Amino acid sequence: MEKQLELIRTNLQEVLNEEIMVEAMKKGPLIIYWGTATTGRPHAGYFVPCLKIAQFLQAGCHVKILLADIHGFLDNLKAPIDLVKFRAEYYKFVITSLLKAVNVPIEKLEFVLGSSYQLQPDYMMDLLRLTTAVTEHDAKKAGAEVVKQVDNAPLSGLIYPLMQALDEQYLGVDAQFGGVDQRKIFALAKDVLPRIGYKERAHLMNPMVPGLQGGKMSASDPDSKIDLLDTADAVRKKLKKAFAPPQQVEGNGVLSFTEFVLLPASSLKYGEQKFIVERRDQEPLVYTNIEAMQKDYLADVLTPQLLKPAVTEALVALLEPIQADFQASQEWKDIEIKAYPPPPPPPKKEKKKKDKGSFYPKKVEAKPDGHVEGEDKAKVDVGEDGGAKAIENLKIDK
Ligand SMILES: N[C@@H](Cc1ccc(O)cc1)C(=O)O
């Protein structure tokens, strides 16, 4: 069990209520879930939680992935419920293929669609009970880092964290896993489930991994992220812009990607962590852990010029089987069009009748008093009298 725990804790930033997890593991396989709201297209950042899931599976856990379509609906005010459902189907294809790509045995993995149980009367009644047990203030605070913060925020943003708490009960899990950005929702869940008679769960948190471009990988900014279906060329082009300042480890998206994705992925594939950096006219650099890489990076032995192409090619190789799966699956292609329909072409602007630039000046209409609008300014000609005359002449529109 120590070994299992070690695997479970690898790369995590924080665990709340670890004792709950340990107790559960004494009785049987740990049941843990990760939820993802089905909104934007999953990008390369999804490798991070998925590799953690791979480790949970390796440690013998029973893992559930919640495709949280209703959460996507609650947080994405323009997406109709049908659309987020299609997206959930799309996510299922992507995540399955992604896990396969890193050699994860997926028999002990279970996908659950949020709307398959969250609309049942019992769940809904429990949700209403929760609304009586939680203050508006606390629900708002809980969602602050997860739910879109907008002016005139709709009520849905307060329901969102309550439902995420309730999911732990209805999915019958011992623990919930997510990024550390979920922390406030996790803390709320821990607090409020006992208030309606349910037990609190353990919470496992991944650090926030900087995107390859340095900042946060955002699903809505196409250049900030690498789509899992991006071609090799597109990946190479985007990674040229990747953020890897020399001799800087902190916030270095390329090194972080190596730490949280490429090294663990190699360990799943070859049974040990390994990352090889080819060099011209020199022996390649071979790494088996991130510490050695960071050390060399700080010393500028492993330069950005060496690291970037190595990471690029490793990522291209990781994406290849996913793209092959996509190409081979008509079902997946069909759902992609429904989930992410191409935006309609911009409406044709009605052509304004062009002023052909007539030789004659524009016709201007005089007001009844004979004064022409716009003419006044032209008339103000500050002469020797300081403009006194001009002002006298000036007719002002009421
Ligand atoms: N809050 C998660 C999604 C989620 C939804 C419901 C859950 O029960 C769990 C997780 C996110 O940010 O994507």
The per-residue pLDDT for 360 is 53
The per-residue pLDDT for 106 is 83
Q: Which residues contact 109 (CB under 8 A, 6 or more apart)?
A: 53, 57, 63, 64, 65, 99
Residue whose CB lies within 8 A of the most ligand 1 atoms, among 71, 130, 149, for a mutation test: 71
Tokens of 212: 């390859």
Tell me which residue of 117, 130, 139 sits closest to 64, measured CA to CA.
117
The residue ranking higher by pLDDT, 380 or 108, is 108
Residue 31: strand, helix, or coil = strand
**Nearest residue CA, atom 6 of ligand 1?**
164
Mean pLDDT, rounded, for 54-64: 94
Q: Which residues line ligand 1 (CB under 6 A)?
A: 35-37, 66, 68, 71, 146, 164, 167, 182
**What is the pLDDT of the chain when averaged over all its residues?**
88
Mean pLDDT, rounded, for 219-247: 84
The residue ranking higher by pLDDT, 386 or 208, is 208
Mean pLDDT, rounded, for 189-206: 97
33 CA to centre of ligand 1 in angstroms:
10
Mean pLDDT, rounded, for 121-127: 98
Least confident piece of the model among 76-80, 258-262, 281-285: 76-80
Could you tell me what percentage of the chain is helix, strand and coil, using 3-state DSSP and rounding each to the nearest 5? 50, 10, 35
164 CA to centre of ligand 1 in angstroms:
6
The per-residue pLDDT for 395 is 41
Could you tell me the domains of the chain?
2-206 (3.40.50.620), 222-339 (1.10.240.10)
The per-residue pLDDT for 398 is 36
**Nearest residue CA, atom 2 of ligand 1?**
36
pLDDT > 90 in the chain, percent: 75
Burial zone of 283 (CB within 10 Å; 0-12 exposed, 13-18 middle, 19+ buried): exposed
The one-letter amino acid at 238: K
Q: Which residues contact 125 (CB under 8 A, 6 or more apart)?
A: none
36 CA to centre of ligand 1 in angstroms:
5
391 CA to centre of ligand 1 in angstroms:
69
CB 199 within 8 A of CB 168: no
pLDDT > 70 in the chain, percent: 85
What are the tens digits of pLDDT across the range 310-363? 999 999 999 999 999 999 999 999 999 999 998 888 888 766 655 555 555 555
